Amino acid sequence: MTTRDRRDPDSPLSSAASTPPDPGDPTVHARSELEAPDDPELGPPLPASAVVASALAGIRDRIARPIRVVNFEVRQAATHELLRLAWPVMASQVLLNLTGLIDRMMIGRLADPGGAAVPLAAVGYATQIFNFVHTTLFSVGLACVALMARSIGSGDVLRARQALAGSLQVSVLITLVYSSALFVWSEEVLRGLGAEDGVVEVAAPYLELTVMAALMLAFTLIFESAFRADRDTRTPMWIALVVTIAKLSGNAVLIFGLFGAPRLELWGAGLATVLSQAVGLALFLAVLAMRPRGGATAVRWRDLFERSPMTSEVIRIAIPGVLERIVLNLGLLSYFAVLSRWYGTLAVATYTVGVSLLSFSWIPGTGLAQACSTLVGQTLGAGDREAAMSLGRRAVALAFYTSIPLALLFAWLRDPLGALFTDDAAVIGALSPFMLTLALSQPFLQVHFTLGGAHRGAGDTVTPLVAAMIGNLFIRLPAAILIASYFELDVIWIWGTLVLDHVARTIWLGISFLRGRWRDAKGVTI
């Protein structure tokens, strides 16, 4: 018996698969024509390949219709499905970035006028270090999406649950290793990046609290990935909304000492992060407890302590993704060190604020990449390679079109947005050229985000790794070091290396996508 034949007996997909509908039945045809792909009356959502096939089935019955109408309807179906899955992801990203923005606005007003650079730089250093943990877990989540989406697309719900359990095991282990090291050597790591003593004193306790929050993030990020692989992007969005409210409320009370609470300043911001992550984990566990036992996300606590046959598959797909994140973070930390050594605390504070602001314009590419990963994985699981390529093209086009107005908006409002963070004129003045440079890079950034999503959904995590190495380690970092140490140019030239990085990654991933070999990735076996 092949893996494809191993259905979960508790799942409704088993009986449905055993008695396929008659394509000549007018009832079946009417349902495919009149009901939306995600109509709850039809049961579990269909894979994207089934959506396309359903559209084509009705079209073939109308031979007189021109071929351009057929292509238009297929493209419309793909666009609708991409946007249906992408918009909740985008909304979640808006909430996440809004939390970061307001967090920095509050922290930027802790110091006396003219002294905002120290607390902002402290947050910047701690955030860059914490990204080692977060982005590594994100890579495990991508492996979870790739494996679960293919399994769901092929109808193998049992294998999807095993992929979820294996992803949780890998995620928790990685977090324990990272968190232990960062918690013990937090000050040493900060000094190794070139942070001044005053910044280290403020940043170390904040970093230790965010590392504690990572232990809960190890679970919530994988749960979120599992829901998205099952084409449920709305539940994580609502949970993100509650977490945002908890985080910002905790900030207001603990940072400034409202309602009789002690004024904890930056340490209070870290404590609010821990508490809000605990709220998010509790909500995910509550939702999972209500899921049907035969569903793809019906994992139980005992699964964490049993050997999952999919753990090795998770590791095999996640390793290139983890290496990609390590490459990116090593590059970013080294970039941070260049700013610290040659340009000082003001440049670090500028970079911290600028990335927070411009991250809003990355949201379309991030959301479409997530939707593309899910749909590509499900269509390849169903055996439809051409639908996977078509979905990738549509996602890239949508990402590019939405990047232009956002980049223009952020470039136009760069000074007013900077003033939201701080009254420090030096920080606001340094921020303007940095934001112009990032705005210029947005189309390239969002396109390579989406292209990477298509590759990862197919289980190809090696190509994005190579793209990251080329753009970050071989172009951006060497150029920044050369500009700072040899040519001794103004910091605006350092910002310009960001554009070169994203252009290089777009070219590499674009060539790979057009060749189409990513659809035959060996990292996923069904």
Interval 84-109: pLDDT, tens: 999 999 998 888 878 877 887 787 76
Number of structural domains (the chain) is 1
Predicted local distance difference test score (pLDDT) of residue 467: 95
Predicted local distance difference test score (pLDDT) of residue 61: 42
Residue 8 lies in a domain: no
Residue 59 lies in a domain: no
Residue 232 lies in a domain: yes
Please state, for a pLDDT cut of 70, what percent of the chain lies above it. Answer: 81
Tens digit of pLDDT for each residue in 428-446? 777 888 888 888 888 999 9
The Cα 386–Cα 516 span in angstroms is 10
User: How much is the average pLDDT of 382-401?
Assistant: 90
Residue 135 lies in a domain: yes
Task: Please tell me which residue, 21 or 30, carries the higher pLDDT value.
Answer: 21
Predicted local distance difference test score (pLDDT) of residue 94: 86
Predicted local distance difference test score (pLDDT) of residue 522: 53
Please state, for a pLDDT cut of 90, what percent of the chain lies above it. Answer: 26
Does residue 11 have a pLDDT over 50? no
Tens digit of pLDDT for each residue in 207-263? 878 888 888 999 999 999 999 999 999 999 999 999 999 999 998 888 888 887 788
Domain range enclosing 471: 77-520
Does residue 75 have a pLDDT over 80? no
Q: What is the pTM of this model?
A: 0.71
Q: What is the DSSP string of 312-331?
A: HHHHHHHHHHHHHHHHHHHH
Task: Please tell me which residue, 221 or 202, carries the higher pLDDT value.
Answer: 221
Residue 68 lies in a domain: no
Residue 525 lies in a domain: no
The Cα 288–Cα 320 span in angstroms is 29
Average pLDDT, the chain: 78
Does residue 170 have a pLDDT over 80? yes
Predicted local distance difference test score (pLDDT) of residue 444: 93
Residue 69 lies in a domain: no
Task: Please tell me which residue, 352 or 240, carries the higher pLDDT value.
Answer: 240
Predicted local distance difference test score (pLDDT) of residue 58: 43
Q: Report which DSSP code applies to 305.
A: G
Predicted local distance difference test score (pLDDT) of residue 283: 96
Tens digit of pLDDT for each residue in 129-141? 777 777 788 889 9
Task: Please tell me which residue, 421 or 411, carries the higher pLDDT value.
Answer: 411
Tens digit of pLDDT for each residue in 263-318? 877 778 888 989 999 999 999 999 988 888 788 888 777 777 788 888 888 998 88
Contact indicator for 139, 462 with CB cutoff of 8 Å: no
What per-residue string of b and e applies to 270-309 under the rule 16 or more CB within 10 Å gives b? bbbbbebbbbbbebbeebbeebeebbbbbbeeebeeeebe
Q: Report which DSSP code applies to 11.
A: S
Does residue 81 have a pLDDT over 90? no
Contact indicator for 322, 464 with CB cutoff of 8 Å: no
Tens digit of pLDDT for each residue in 360-378? 777 888 899 999 999 999 9
Q: How confident is the model at residue 111 (pLDDT cuts 50, 70, 90)?
A: low
Residue 461 lies in a domain: yes
Predicted local distance difference test score (pLDDT) of residue 114: 47
Task: Please tell me which residue, 388 or 49, carries the higher pLDDT value.
Answer: 388
Does residue 49 have a pLDDT over 70? no
Contact indicator for 374, 145 with CB cutoff of 8 Å: yes
Helix and strand element counts for the chain (H, E): 19, 0
Residue 114, SS3 per DSSP: coil
Which residues are CB-contacts of 349 (< 8 A; sequence separation ≥ 6)? 116, 117, 120, 121, 124, 427
Measured in whole angstroms, the distance separating CA 430 from the mean position of its chain's CA atoms is 29
Predicted local distance difference test score (pLDDT) of residue 34: 32
Range of weakest confidence among 17-26, 167-176, 248-257, 369-378: 17-26
Predicted local distance difference test score (pLDDT) of residue 40: 30
Length of the chain as a residue count: 526
